[in-house]
Amino acid sequence: MRRAIYPGSFDPVTNGHLDIIQRGCKLFDEIIIAVLVNPDKTPFFSVEERCEILSEVLKEIDRGDCRLTVESFQGLLVQYAADRKANAIVRGIRAISDYEYELQMALMNRRLQPALETVFMMPAEAYSYVSSRLVKEVFQLGAPIKGLVPPLVEERMRRKSGS
């Protein structure tokens, strides 16, 4: 049983995240999409909203035989992964600029939990510049975000911001 954790803020989930999950489904029997509860950040969507949106948009993706679950977590990622008996952490890398931070986290996590592997995956080139941060920024400045996030996310962002 190959079980992976795909951790992140997912504020909001983008088409890039979904692309990574779909690719991960070819490698793992189960992927737990784990939404970080981060009290230091003021998010656009609450953790509950993010989990609910993720569960909804995941219904649309081609998962093959892979089981997908959505959970929130807090505290150390490696501890959470051990609690869930996961073998791997999945992280998406879009560009070299992501690599430095991701490598640091992967090596720190390896130091803390040597048996847990980090698997870096590349999204389709079309999503190589898409981030939750930029999606929120362009949305808040009134620009279209169609094609960057699932339609449900755009709709929920509009509803939330009253636009």
Residues in Cβ contact with 47 at an 8 Å cutoff, skipping those fewer than 6 apart: 35, 37, 72
Q: Is 94 a catalytic residue?
A: yes
Alpha-carbon distances of 131 from 9, 94, 108, 126, rounded to whole Å: 11, 9, 23, 12
Per CB under 6 A, 150 contacts ligand PNS = no
Q: Is 17 a catalytic residue?
A: yes
Q: Is 136 a catalytic residue?
A: no
Minimal CB distance residue for ligand PNS: 8
As a whole number of angstroms, the distance between CA 79 and CA 59 comes to 28
Structural contact between residues 116 and 110, judged by C-beta atoms closer than 8 angstroms: yes
Per CB under 6 A, 108 contacts ligand PNS = yes
Per CB under 6 A, 109 contacts ligand PNS = yes
41, 67, 133, 160: the active-site residue? 41
Q: Which stretch binds ligand PNS (CB under 6 A): 55-63, 64-72, 103-111, 117-125?
A: 103-111
Per CB under 6 A, 105 contacts ligand PNS = yes
As a whole number of angstroms, the distance between CA 113 and CA 3 comes to 16
What x/- string results for residues 18 through 37 when contact with ligand PNS is judged by CB under 6 A?
------------------x-
Strands 88-92 and 67-73: what pairing? Answer: unpaired
Residues annotated as catalytic are 17, 41, 94, 132
Residues that bind ligand PNS (CB under 6 A): 7-9, 36, 76-77, 105, 108-109
